[in-house]
Structure 1
């Protein structure tokens, strides 16, 4: 697909809060091309009778090496797969990820979020009485969000362990 379409697809997959600017997208595409992981097709001429924009659209496609590199990346499980940004990107590619890898990532993410939740509970217990009611409710709201994520991750893990694929999938956080 071409750059504009790719940017739209990434926004759909990763969400609008992880939007790619054209200033970061095109240099990344150039680096991927230089590495041999994608190929670029030159713009085609517009059909006769239509106006042609000043610059045609380049079409990008994964190469065989690029597909192999993507498979290698999807098989890696490390701490970056559990943080907010890494987990979101990995989740977007779960359909192409092996089940045992998905399970490792989900369990690692749940451990990380549970640690975050424990820290938030501890902090709220220590400082809760000293906080004004608005700040306290803000902290409680954050804790509720983290609790929801732990429940959602637990549901995903159970779904993955049972291998059930009813098409409905787990609920969203």
Structure 2
């Protein structure tokens, strides 16, 4: 999912590693830390694959802004092949698009995702969370009497959170089905 996030951010504009890390943290949540130890190897792999490259030093794009800082930071940008690869990644739907990390990343780029794919991802996520909530409900029914009050409260909080997410997903799905321009 880090690959999708990096390519998605670079599709918006070229940026250097530190800026990418800051944007990844703000995009995917303040509690999800990205280390340089995972970011830079990912950037290297994307570069080796030909999906990103480094902007030439002191290159002046149309907006008149230099793409390399005065301190010589490497500025990464998406290549044409990278744009195609990013579009292909956004079109893929599978179990990784429904899990916590994958769903959050995919949701962050829904504006660039086809409507039919968005709907599949939302429905898959809703099914996954509904199954988790049903499992938690069944577990609570079997073990409620044996739990201390704190564990019980934690389990009930988890169930309430899952139920709230299912309702939210149902609203998003309904909005998607109504089509473009629908208010959420």
TM-score range, shorter chain: 0.7 to 0.9
Which aligned segments of 4 or more residues in structure 1 are displaced greater than 6 angstroms?
A: none
Deviations 1:49-97 (CA, angstroms, capped at 9, x unpaired): xxx64xx111111000000000000000011111111111111111100
Rg comparison, structure with higher value: 1
Whether 1:10 aligns to 2:21 is: no
1:11-160 correspondence to structure 2 within 5 Å: 11-44=25-58, 53=71, 56-160=72-176
Structure 1 spans left out of the alignment, 5+ residues: 46-51
Q: 1:42 deviation in Å?
A: 4.6
**TM-score normalised by length of structure 1:** 0.87
Task: Work out the CA distance in 2 between the residues paired with 1:35 and 1:76.
Answer: 19
Give 5+ residue unaligned stretches, structure 2: 1-14, 60-69
Distance (Å, rounded) in 2 between the aligned partners of 1:18 and 1:76? 24
SS of 1:16 mapped into structure 2: coil
Higher relative contact order (CA 8 A, sep 6+): 2
Shift, 1:18, TM fit: 2.6
Report deviation, 1:13. 1.2
User: TM-score, normalised to structure 2's length?
Assistant: 0.82
SS at match of 2:181: coil
Aligned residue-pair number: 160
Separation of aligned partners in 1, 2:108 and 2:164: 20
What do you get for the CA RMSD once the two structures are aligned? 1.6
